Chain A
Amino acid sequence: MSTVVLLTLTGLGLAALYFLIASGLSLVFGLAGVLNFAHGLFLSVGAYATWSVAGSWGLLPAMLLGVAAAAATGALVELVLIRPLYTRHTEQVLVTVGLSLAGVALLQSVWGADARVFPRPAWASEVIGVAGAQVPADRFLLIGAAVLVLLGLLAFLRYTRYGLVIRAGVENRAMVSALGIDVRNAFTLVFAIGGALAGLAGILGGMYFSAISPGQGASLLIFAFIVVVIGGLGSVAGAAAAAVAVGLLQQFVNYYGTAGAGDVSVVVLLSAVLLLRPAGLAGKVATA
């Protein structure tokens, strides 16, 4: 029983990480139609910005800086690189892939290729007893952050004007323009939100793995893309459900199966969803 509890909470912690990355990725693709391979760069910017000043500023202010830096990077990438390419999908892919590779190379050139120990609050290193299992406290930090982000995003999408524009734009952005709305502002906003969430994921991921490295963003991005596809493009709630499914499946199969089987099982799940429900768990409807 204690093993199941530990695996469940560890899987949910991993799911929280995937959700934080995938939710922004999903909104960007759902609204703007951009497959953003540079999303992992936002994660790394958040993590490295936090790591670089945490020693002098303290962890919490450093985290705020990291999130802000990642959000600004997201907005800047949209304004400078993506905006001229909205009708040119091949070039979009080339630019975002190139940016991702250049970002990793830049991080390596400045801070080296080795992993860096990431700071964490003392309480996050403790363990908490749950139904006989000794669960690291950082799992609860990740899960709590993801739940707050999910609720915040749903409230933003449901109750704000920009949320309304984003939900409508995910369905039919040409019609949003035909109602007199400059949908490009919403594009910039979702890139900034996606960047902020990825930056937060980078910071929490640093605490979860106790380290950050230049390639961390790119490796987590693969599973985030799978979560986006399983959840349904443009759906925040779908991304949350898919992240939970992927995180739990990975943990349980890795423990009860052979090493590495967890990753294979995620690909099998992706294949099954694509065959049985090609639009994903939630289809292409934001928040639903």
Chain B
Amino acid sequence: MILRVNDLSVRLGGSRILQGVTFDVAGTGVTALLGRNGVGKTTTLRAVLGEVPASGTVEYDGRPVLGRATHKLVRDGLAYVPEDRCVFAGLTVAENLRLAERVPDPDYDLVHELFPELKTRAAQRAGTLSGGQQQMVSIARVLLNPNRLLLVDEPTKGLAPAVVTAVAVVLARVAERVPVLLVEQNLAVVRRLATDAVVLEAGRTAWQGRAADLLGDAEATRSLLGVGSTAGRH
């Protein structure tokens, strides 16, 4: 297991957002972190990354990480693709990528192979890109460096169907190299990418197992995710 989360709790502004989240992330493939809106998926990623104060234990590659500074975790290969992309709007595409370089020989070959458009738009300000293009920048930033685990938060949110497919293809390629913990609402993407799944409910782990088992169980899908088991099936 590359990541072990045990009894993770987060309290923000007097509210208990997470109340004992527990799950493991395998060292290969994609683990989907699922659940209805507001159950604490994004907060879980941010707590693992040290962006919000949390209690419980989180072991990354066998070492406890709660309390460590975010930038140190990222330097140890725990990369983050945030919800809503968070590109630096006033910086150019090239500057966004240059800022993310952590190693002497960043993998621009991979980035330009997956996202050739970023090469032609290098001098364009990231704030003027479309949502799909911004998502490319956001994913490309983490692909420049060697990573041991990617935390990817809703990468297809708000994107056109064709772009969603393109993002899913890229994530599938990425997952061949490095394990991914993926927060995703689009069950078609989950069905395509995920080997394992974790479902949160009201700040707690409600289910963990094989993604195919969850998505093949109509009753579980309906009760845990609020959608029919055929949702996202093409």
**A residues touching B (Cβ–Cβ < 8 Å)?**
164-165, 167-168, 171-172, 174-183, 285-288
Contacts and interface: CB of A to CB of B under 8 A. Distances in A.
B1 interface: no
15 contacts: A167-B90, A167-B95, A168-B99, A171-B91, A172-B88, A174-B51, A176-B99, A177-B69, A178-B74, A178-B80, A178-B86, A179-B71, A179-B141, A183-B71, A287-B90
Given A172-B86, A179-B74, A182-B69, A164 B80 contact: no
B100 interface: yes
Given A164-B95, A164-B99, A183-B71, A178 B88 contact: no
Interface in B202-221: none
B49 interface: yes
Nearest to A287: B90
B177 interface: no
A167 B89 CA distance: 10
Contacts of A165: 99
Interface of B: 49, 51, 69-71, 74-75, 80, 82, 86, 88-91, 95, 98-100, 102, 141, 145
B90 A179 contact: no
Contacts of A182: 69, 71
Given A167-B90, A285-B89, 16 more contacts: A164-B91, A165-B99, A167-B88, A167-B95, A168-B95, A177-B71, A177-B74, A178-B71, A178-B80, A179-B100, A179-B102, A180-B71, A180-B100, A182-B71, A285-B90, A286-B90
Contacts of A286: 90
Nearest to A182: B71
A18 B100 CA distance: 35
Given A164-B98, A168-B99, A177 B70 contact: yes
The 5 A-B pairs of least Cβ separation, nearest first, read A180-B74, A285-B90, A177-B70, A175-B86, A180-B75
A176 B95 CA distance: 12
A183 B74 CA distance: 13
Nearest to B50: A177
A186 to B, nearest CB: 11
B32 to A, nearest CB: 21
B134 to A, nearest CB: 13
Contacts of B86: 172, 175, 178
Contacts of B89: 171, 285
Contact of B91 (A168, A174, A178, A180): A168
Contacts of A287: 90
B82 A175 contact: yes
Of B86, B90, B141, most buried by chain A (CB within 10 Å of CB) is B90
Nearest to B81: A178
B196 to A, nearest CB: 24
Of A167, A171, A172, A175, most buried by chain B (CB within 10 Å of CB) is A175
B109 to A, nearest CB: 20
